[in-house]
Amino acid sequence: MPTIVLMDVSLSMTRPVSVDGSEEFQRKNLAVHGLNMLFEHMSSNYRLEFTALMAFSSLWELLVPFTRDYNALQEALSTLEDYDKTCVESALNGVNNVVQQEWGSSCPCQVVLVTDGSLGIGKGSLRHSLQTLKQRGDEKKFPLPFPFPTKLFIMCVANAEELQMTDAMDNLEELLRLSGGDGQIFTVEGPLSMKSVQAMFGRLIDHAYSTFHAVLHCGNLSSDVQVFPRPEPIVVDEEVEPMPRTVSADLEIVGFIEIADISSPPVISRHLVLPTAVNKDVDEVGTGATDELEEEPSASQMAGKSPNFCVLLHGSLKVEGMVALVQLGQEWYGMLYSQADSKKKSNLMMSVFDPGPEPLPWLGKITHLGPISAAENPYGEDDSKSPFPVQPQVKRSYAQNVTVWIKASGLQTDVQKILRNAKKLPDKTQTFYKELNRLRKAALAFGFWELLKGVADLLERECTLLPDSAHPDAAFQLSHAAQQLKLASTGDPQYAAFDHNIVPMHTDFSS
């Protein structure tokens, strides 16, 4: 899970703080001290994670793009400059742009906002941004919530009493709520000092960046491992009394299966698994079960002469092209596999399945899987054929494919397919009407009358854009199809019957 750090470099961060009655520091100096502590921890325990550094005041600037080089991050902190007033909204827009450009909208990201709690003044201040939330159009929409999963951690270089003297805490809590509420606000306990700020960042590390230690078992073999990032508790909605379920510290391998049989299963999260004994020395090598490393030694070499089961497992899975099914808790499973980080580096990864006895329907219940050396080999005489997916005994009534639009991209693809065939009329007449009727039936089933009207308008527009060299039959067919869709969009039973199909218009050109 990548992290992006937002550092407030406004003038309010230059306010002096008397530390231990001797030397005076700025709040910015205290914040830099805390961030250096965070980066040092991540360089030792989370060095495979990507981190970016942004500075903001009324504008924002990406100082260090997403990187694993924590020395570069610390060097950028030492050269921070001071700017004008605070504008949190501008910084959040910057986060949105940077993360989506680098990771898209599906990768979860942690945002660490470091500030002194000053909201800014006038237009652009956090107070003004939150007060005008309901008065905005789509073009000037507030950046929260982000389009990607986010955890927002707000680090205030101020104590709670100072923040509560104004409405700063209320506004920061509202900001956290808008982000989705999956985060926390940290404040300094007691007077401002190096130790109190260090303790605040220590609480952040314990909450979001602590290591997860576990023991990986396989029969009589075992190995101490660390899992990055720390697996989050899962709440199962189907249970009568939902309780958060956590990954056990004892990970038990229950079997091995070929990659082709498990394919690309749906997973909740992915994690890096490292042997505890070599984690302090491993740098972007993972469990290092590769023998072609030249510049950097593998984890097996780093482990010295002592055997390590985790390294053995990684090498075996990579060579054999298999995955290991691992039990994470009661009726909760995942899989271990080798993933190439580059041509010369690979890591042992763990993917977490949805809780339940049957996370992958085509395998059936995990507890019902048995060894190949059973009385009856499920692969049969021909080892090249897989027994998966397991065929159900009763034929399902919903086996026929139906049109389903879960995301906007699916609907857009179907509409574009119709328009592509429309441009190739009359050669693609049959395909055009086939796709048109498929979309028509789905729209009628969902009661999506507006879609029929919208596609009809698109077809009429395509008709007006036909070049002079187009076949005359193309204009007739487009006009006919558009008219039939408009009639169906009215809901008239004569034209909106589900079983009715739009047939091509017979013309003198369509013999």
User: pLDDT tens, 109-136?
Assistant: 999 999 998 888 888 888 888 988 888 8
Q: Pick from 510, 492, 400: which is nearest to 452 by CA?
A: 492
The answer to whether residues 437 and 502 touch, using CB atoms and an 8 Å cutoff, is yes
pLDDT at site 398:
57
**Burial track 184-219 (b if 16+ CB lie within 10 A, e otherwise):** ebbbbeeebbeebbeebbeebbeebbebbebebbbe
The answer to whether residues 35 and 7 touch, using CB atoms and an 8 Å cutoff, is yes
Q: Are residues 228 and 189 in the same domain?
A: no
Q: Give 374's pLDDT tier (boundaries 50, 70, 90).
A: low
pLDDT at site 283:
39
Q: Are residues 198 and 60 in the same domain?
A: yes
Q: Are residues 216 and 351 in the same domain?
A: yes
Asked if residue 484 is part of any domain, the answer here is: yes
Asked if residue 433 is part of any domain, the answer here is: yes
Q: Indicate the SS3 state at residue 53.
A: strand
The answer to whether residues 109 and 3 touch, using CB atoms and an 8 Å cutoff, is yes
Q: Are residues 310 and 226 in the same domain?
A: yes
Distance CA 262, CA 442 (A): 32
In angstroms, how far apart are the furthest CA atoms of the chain?
98
Which ranges constitute the DSSP H helices of 137-252?
Answer: 160-164, 168-178, 194-208
User: Does residue 284 carry a pLDDT above 50?
Assistant: no
Q: Compute CA distances 89 → 130, 132, 257, whole Å.
A: 9, 12, 49
The residue among 366, 393, 420 that closes a domain is: 393
417, with CB counted inside 10 A (0-12, 13-18, 19+), is middle
User: Does residue 304 carry a pLDDT above 60?
Assistant: no
The residue among 368, 393, 418 that closes a domain is: 393
Asked if residue 509 is part of any domain, the answer here is: no
What residue numbers bound the domain in which 463 lies?
Answer: 408-489
User: Does residue 298 carry a pLDDT above 50?
Assistant: no
Q: Give 303's pLDDT tier (boundaries 50, 70, 90).
A: very low
Q: What percentage of the chain has pLDDT greater than the value 90?
A: 44
Q: Are residues 199 and 348 in the same domain?
A: no
Q: Pick from 32, 35, 90: which is nearest to 61 by CA?
A: 90
User: Does residue 396 carry a pLDDT above 80?
Assistant: no
Q: Compute CA distances 465 → 424, 455, 483, whole Å.
A: 13, 15, 17
Beta strand spans in 84-174 (E): 109-115, 150-159
Q: Which amino acid belongs to residue 301?
A: Q
Q: Are residues 51 and 104 in the same domain?
A: yes
Asked if residue 294 is part of any domain, the answer here is: no
What's the start-to-end Cα distance of the chain, in Å? 61
Distance CA 246, CA 262 (A): 24
The answer to whether residues 273 and 348 touch, using CB atoms and an 8 Å cutoff, is yes
Asked if residue 85 is part of any domain, the answer here is: yes
Q: Are residues 230 and 172 in the same domain?
A: no
Asked if residue 179 is part of any domain, the answer here is: yes
Average pLDDT, the chain: 85
Q: Are residues 99 and 188 in the same domain?
A: yes
Q: Are residues 192 and 170 in the same domain?
A: yes
Distance CA 121, CA 452 (A): 50
- pLDDT, tens digit (0-9, with 9 covering 90-100), for 378-393: 666 676 777 676 666 6
Q: Are residues 8 and 91 in the same domain?
A: yes
Summarize the confidence of residues 16-34 as an average pLDDT: 82
The answer to whether residues 324 and 317 touch, using CB atoms and an 8 Å cutoff, is yes
Residue keyed to tokens 């030792």: 44
Asked if residue 399 is part of any domain, the answer here is: no
Structure tokens at 477: 């067919």
Q: Are residues 18 and 64 in the same domain?
A: yes
- pLDDT, tens digit (0-9, with 9 covering 90-100), for 170-228: 999 999 999 988 899 999 998 888 999 999 999 999 999 988 999 999 988 999 998 98
Total domains present in the chain: 3
Least confident of 2-11, 62-71, 151-160, 334-343: 334-343
User: Does residue 141 carry a pLDDT above 90?
Assistant: no
CATH code, 67: 3.40.50.410
Q: Are residues 165 and 266 in the same domain?
A: no
Asked if residue 103 is part of any domain, the answer here is: yes
**Burial track 22-47 (b if 16+ CB lie within 10 A, e otherwise):** eeebbbbbbbbbbbbbbbebbbebbb
The answer to whether residues 84 and 58 touch, using CB atoms and an 8 Å cutoff, is yes
Residues 6+ apart with CB under 8 A from 121: 85
Distance CA 433, CA 413 (A): 16
Q: Pick from 301, 270, 299, 304: which is nearest to 286 by CA?
A: 299
